[in-house]
Chains A and B, each alone.
Chain A
Amino acid sequence: MAEINKVAVIGAGVMGAGIAAHVANAGVPVILLDIVPKDAADRSAVAKGAIERLLKADPAPFMSKAAARLVTPGNVEDDLGLLADCDLIIEAIVERLDLKQSLYAKIDAVRKDGSIVSSNTSTIPLAALVGGLPERFAGDFLITHFFNPPRYMRLLEVVAGAATRPEAVATVSQFADHRLGKGVVRCKDRPGFIANRLGVTWLQAAVVEAFDRAIDIEDADAIIGRPMGIPKTGVFGLLDLVGLDLMPHVNASLAGSLPAGDMFHDLYRPAPLIEKMIAEGYTGRKGKGGFYRLNRAEGKAKEAIDLTTGAYRPQKKADVEAVKEAGRSLGKLFEHDSAAGRYAWAVMGRTLAYAALLVGDAADEIEAIDEAMRLGYNWKKGPFELIDDLGVAWFVAALERSGLPVAPILTAAAGRPFYRVVEGRREVLRLDGGYAELVRPDGVLMLADVKLTAKPVLKNGSASLWDIGDGVACFEFTSKMNSLDPDTIDLLQKSIRKVAKEFKALVIYNEGSQFSVGANLGLALFAANIAAFAEIENLIASGQAVYKALKYAKFPVVGAPSGMALGGGCEILLHCSAIQAHAETYVGLVEVGVGLIPGWGGCKEMLARWQSLGRLPNGPMPPVIKAFETISTATVAKSAAEAKELLFLRPSDGITMNRYRLLADAKAKALSLVEGYQPPAPPTFRLPGPSAKVGMDMAVDGFRRLGKATAYDAVVSSALAVVLSGGDTDVIAELSEDDVLELERTAFAGLVKSAGTLDRIEHMLMTGKPLRN
């Protein structure tokens, strides 16, 4: 299979620029071209401007500054020659067939043999795009449909034409999977492919039904949201996010291209209120507001639009009886005898019926449709998983009662589920009524699959230990948000003993959306509130001891985070032999935000890292200053790449782009360390002592005078400075790890008794935001 080592993206709009940034995130050089603006001094100003915007955008399209340097801007008139050595050329220009085709001709003239051309079109059929173009081009051409923003949305829809070389498809898929970290879903050359065709139909159904039934938008979002595993933005919140003005285009395109008789046409009709909103600039969050807005004239009052009158009114807290009564049962919600229950079914009954109709049309495999909705719309469950929850028989009966079409795949199911597990094998229904085994691609190992057949080796209320084969164990956090509590520490201690006896290596990994948000603050605050300080100190001491035992275990330990790894969740990683991190990992020691300092060895490990890996000037001060800067500002790395810059990760630690590949990569890394594994030698510290502490205090004082630090920031920073400077020591004395750990404990114990700290923890728990006291 050919390798893709250089990429070009043509079209530096939101999508093109975002795709280029993400290719750069993969460490692949990328050319970004756009047109030459009229009378411009700089003929590449469009592409250069796009890169500028990328660097400022939030959330950041680049994972690191180094990635930004891999993007070379240019223009399509002077720089087409740069395409000559590109392996993949992605077109992301305006959705006009004539412009695309004339560009393709130019591309074809300069590109090398075997290079691949793809379009990011979302509306033009592949057959039309290659119409009239040479055979060589058609053979190398396919559609790669990215979702916005390309770094963060994991779905990539790939459409191949009849003439497309299978090897070209395989090469691009491999690249997208391994290097870009995308979930590749193969779609047929049908309008809207899968995700947008189904997603837009769903949105349209939710909007039209809400208008017809005069449902308050807060209620609509509460109904068509959490209860079905859909993000809490629901429908109207999501439209505000993507932009209301996008909808008419997408709707018109689908309406224009889908055949007569397609269910979408039933839902396609003008919405005067939305048109008026767009005309007046209420295009959503990017505009003056959308269905929801912050009324700044009223002191940032949260307001919501009334679908009937079109007037804004104060936003209310959704309080939907049907949702509360239904609990976890989607069927109960759909059957609930209330406006909310009828709305839920009107929207989702139609959406799910439509999803079933797409089988054989947009894609042959139901798992492709499920994956598209999970990765493209962030649904927790795909439509067929939702139908399985409802029960196929119940669903078919409900469709018939409502006069909705029953798709062939539903008939083929004959009351059986879409997915089933037979002797530990996952199987999926096919259109012929048979089941096919769902096999993970090579290099994909999911803990969820392990759980289908295995029982945990150890388990309590907050964590589990699993056998993931080949002598490797996996330690999994299982608490809410994977917060850490005494049970976690307890099971980790037991796991270390167990792994030492029965396994070769340990991986710390889980499949929650966050690796760990750190210590359970609710428990900590409760303990502090009842003055159970001795218990808190015990928990700190036992956490330090267990993390240390992890570090010096005689087997290798690989931490495999994805998502947030904060506070204690960061500290556990700092004690691992090696890390294999998902690229989207957000690591940080954020304790100061709640008025504390890292107490589970975080200060000690950061000192040790800056000391040994920091490439800093000589002397005791530079590592101390670096650790102080990172911890006192609660700096969080916004990617695994950035985590390396901040030394939360070592240069030797691995990064996995594809979330699905993380556990297998981590396991492989662990096994690679087994042979001849030696625990690390304990570091020693020469720290500068009280004079350095005074220096750090003065620096914070300066920030305070500038209004950048608060009074209590100074208190917490000062406690941190004592630890990092080594307490009452001087450079001549050599401190051990235990000495620094004791300083951590003392500082932590002092802070946790302070009212300022308790106020911060309480505020964080109640509002989710740090208190600036």
Chain B
Amino acid sequence: MPIYKAPLRDMRFVLYELHGGEAMTELPGFEDFGRDLVEPVLDEAAKLCEQVLFPLNRSGDEEGCTLANGVVSTPKGFKEAYDRFRDGGWTSISCDPAWGGQGFPNVVSTLVEEMICSANLSFGMYPGLSHGAYNALARHGTEALKEKWLPKLVAGEWAGTMCLTEPHCGTDLGLIRTRAEPKDDGSWAVTGTKIFISAGDHDLTDNILHLVLARTPGAPKGIKGISLFLVPKYAVGDDGAVGGPNGVTCGSIEHKMGIKASSTCVMNFDGATGWLIGERHKGMRAMFTMMNTARLGVAIQGLGIAEVSYQNAVAYARDRIQGRSLSGTKAPDKAADPILVHPDVRRMLLTQRAYTEGCRALAAGIARELDVSQRHPDPKVRQAAEDYVALMTPIAKAMMTDLGSEVANLGVQVYGGHGFIREWGQEQYVRDARITQIYEGTNGVQALDLVGRKMPADAGRALRRFFHPVQAFIEAKVEDERLGVFVQPLAKAFVRLQQATAQVARAGLARPDEAGAAATDYLKLFGLTALAHQWARMAEVAYARLDADGPDTFYEAKIATARFFMDRLLPESSARFSAVMAGGRSIMEFPDDAF
């Protein structure tokens, strides 16, 4: 039986010891979110995830969603779990109190999201999509629209979706064909077909609010002619009562590799009544403003999968006995030693652990800056934080989902043949993780976003928010007696990253294909350097704690994991660096016909 225990100790470490979470209360609007309020919330979230959501993970995967007579049903138990989730207030945790939300900082809700993703990624899709719709509507909707729709969305009584993709276009949304015709009363009639709509239809809520990208009559060609509309599944009267159908139907549900308990729908809009969100033709801008949060959300999915896969792999490796240790028997009372003793198994487990904890530290840091970018009274500080978030978002999304997959695969490997067998649960994580590398902008698109948009913008201003603090950290700590062993490898990777950045910027200016060809390797080099920075800092914090409070296995393990990361994982940065510096010729000069 798979297991899951929320990593609360490590979460507290990341939040309070690494990123100074107590200072969060200094941000306007966050005055109440001291440790005394935050920690019980994390404990409660852990309970819900471990006891309610996690037990439905395997069964949900086996059963999947069904479409019968135009009605989509979620797997057994999901509706009850959702009711508990909603009644516990979890749909509103980071929403604006003005609309009934609890206004928690992003850095806290990010940790809660991680638990949900570890426990049951498919389940998390439903509130996750609602939250995306909430963000778009809250930021771009008119007051009237917000007053009518937001409170119930925040309360979880209604759910939301994002309807972007169409049969012929995914990444390139300029090709969208769904159209919206103006009606006399100021609303619009929306007609078209959307595919791959997560949570497009289900039985968890009374109504579903679709945010739909569509083209209005006479709109400019391409991406500049797209507008965003709110289209509910059911009409809602002025009294708030849910009325009849609104011309929105689920045509079919997809049969997928993973996240099977999340309904992925073909949605048909047939003259459905909708309302414009934001300005006409500015639909993509409205989408972009929430892209950072949505992409960070997917990064967290990768992290969540990695954590649960690691926990199970460790449990299995302790339990499973097979062969004897190369250095002599370790468990003479048993027929064989636990596989935990074998170097390669240890290598796999440590790889899982180092990536998982590193990503958690990085993600929480980004979420913390996201809070600063939204709350800090000084506009310059807000801008700097926003730059950092914008820069790190594609890195987090691509690297953390790639690592989520990698870690899940290692989890299967630790199990050996049993990893391949469904009832052990490990293979589900591989399947569930796979989509995270694709949706919300494929990881290739994330890499392009990094080199094509974030890097050159404002002569590299966003880069400053990463490079300067890391440079300062290296300068301050590189000669530190204990920390030197962590900071020196970081410094090496950092110099490579600087050189690669200059190279990609220079080459990309002359020939965009060069930047495109370097993008994925460059992103990984960047991501590994960012993880190395987090690990060096975690080692620093751990040493300080040990100095202050005496021996503690938690901190000792931190330092040991940091050492493993520097010794065994960071060296990949050197290979990525070589690949970047080799240039794109071997990619671009290969004849198309020879493929």
Contacts and interface: CB of A to CB of B under 8 A. Distances in A.
A762 B459 contact: yes
Interface size of A as a range: 10 to 19
A530 interface: yes
Interface string A514-552: 000000011001111111110100000000000000000
Nearest to B475: A531
A530 B460 contact: yes
B502 A529 contact: no
Contacts of B501: 530
A522 B468 CA distance: 18
Contact of B460 (A525, A533, A535): A525
A530 B463 contact: yes
Given A526-B459, A765-B459, A532 B502 contact: yes
Contact of B463 (A521, A529, A533, A765): A529
A531 B460 contact: no
Nearest to B510: A461
Interface residues of B, number: 14
B464 A529 contact: yes
Contact of B458 (A528, A533, A766): A766
Interface string B463-486: 110011011000000000000000
A533 B494 CA distance: 13
B498 A529 contact: no
B50 to A, nearest CB: 43
B280 interface: no
A203 to B, nearest CB: 32
Contacts of B464: 528-531, 758
B498 A532 contact: yes
A521 B460 CA distance: 12
Contacts of B505: 526
B461 A529 contact: yes
A761 B461 CA distance: 11
B459 A531 contact: no
B461 A530 contact: no
A531 B471 contact: yes
B454 to A, nearest CB: 12
B457 to A, nearest CB: 10
Interface in B478-516: 498, 501-502, 505
A466 to B, nearest CB: 24
Interface in A587-639: none
B145 to A, nearest CB: 27
Which of B459, B460, B461 has its CB near the most chain A CB atoms (within 10 A)? B459
Contacts of A532: 498, 502
B486 to A, nearest CB: 19
A531 B467 contact: yes
B502 A525 contact: no
B502 A530 contact: yes
A525 B459 contact: yes
B498 A531 contact: yes
Interface string A214-239: 00000000000000000000000000
Interface in B447-464: 458-461, 463-464
Given A531-B468, A531-B471, A526 B498 contact: no
Contacts of B502: 526-527, 530, 532, 535
A525 B467 CA distance: 13
Contacts of A530: 460, 463-464, 467, 498, 501-502
A758 B501 CA distance: 18
A525 B502 CA distance: 12
Interface string A430-473: 00000000000000000000000000000000000000000000
Nearest to A528: B464
A757 to B, nearest CB: 12
A526 B460 contact: yes
A525 B468 CA distance: 13
B496 to A, nearest CB: 12
B471 A529 contact: no
Given A529-B464, A530-B467, A522 B459 contact: yes
A762 B468 contact: no
Interface in A485-530: 521-522, 525-530
A526 B461 CA distance: 7
A525 B463 CA distance: 11
Interface string B270-283: 00000000000000
A522 B470 CA distance: 22
Nearest to B467: A531
A529 to B, nearest CB: 4
A527 B498 CA distance: 9
Interface string B363-397: 00000000000000000000000000000000000
| Closest 7 A/B residue pairs (Cβ) | A531-B471, A529-B460, A531-B467, A529-B464, A526-B460, A525-B459, A530-B467
14 contacts: A521-B459, A526-B459, A526-B502, A527-B502, A528-B464, A529-B461, A530-B463, A530-B498, A530-B502, A531-B467, A531-B468, A531-B470, A531-B471, A535-B502
Given A526-B502, A530-B463, 12 more contacts: A525-B459, A525-B460, A526-B505, A530-B460, A531-B464, A531-B470, A531-B471, A531-B498, A532-B498, A532-B502, A535-B502, A765-B458
